[in-house]
Copies of this chain bind each other. A is one copy, B any other.
Amino acid sequence: MVEVSRRRAIEDVASELFRANGYAATSVRDIAHALDIQGPSLYAHVTSKEDVLWAIVDRAAASFEAAADAAAGAAESDRNRADAAARLSFLVRAHVAVMTSDIGAAGVFVHEWRALGRDRQATILARRDAYEERFRAVIEEGVGTGEFVMTDSNLAATAILSMLNGLPGWYRPTGRLSPDRIADHFVDFTLRLLQGANP
């Protein structure tokens, strides 16, 4: 998280504060003081507290979308393993990579969209839905080809996304597991959940 601009430094500090304490419980002065400046000085760089939240959430959404696009591309060019399991594995890995690369922003994206105004909230929920639809689609594809055995693809997608989105609640960069190792396990869990025989 190298800060290339003052504006970006503000967003990085705010991400972590918003993730740890919530948007409403974080004051503009909290953000400023974490940067060793006075509260009002922040307004030399941003126009409002909500604009900071929006910048964080919008960028996080864009990261997830770009990573999913790249994952789809990687799966397609991998000719020997372009099945649903491979495609879903790339998606899971991409999600874990984005989350762990900026756990503050990811946590804010997952939990703090409620604090956005009506229009921005609707926008971000639509983007989140479209993103999650990628998971649903590849699961249904796998069910269609018989790769996966699952009577409720929608619920399976929700369960997998809940597992992934729980990351900001426990992941720490200095923790026991590296992002890659976490991704390995989550891919394993995901495929087990979908490939196991139904009782």
Residues of A near any B CB (own CB < 8 A): 20-25, 111, 114-115, 151-152, 155-156, 158-163, 165-166, 169-170, 177, 182, 185-186, 188-189, 191-196, 198-199
Copies in the complex: 2
Q: How far is the CA of A173 from the CA of B37 in the complex (A)?
A: 47
A193 contacts B199, CB within 8 Å?
no
Can you give 22 contacting A-B residue pairs, CB < 8 Å? A22-B23, A23-B25, A24-B25, A25-B115, A111-B111, A151-B185, A152-B185, A155-B177, A156-B189, A158-B170, A159-B189, A163-B163, A163-B166, A188-B198, A188-B199, A189-B193, A191-B196, A191-B199, A192-B192, A192-B194, A193-B193, A196-B196
Smallest CB separation, A192 vs chain B (Å): 3
Q: Which of the residues B22, B188, B189, B193 comes within 8 Å of A24, measured between beta carbons?
A: B22
Residue numbers in B under 8 Å from A186 (CB-CB):
159
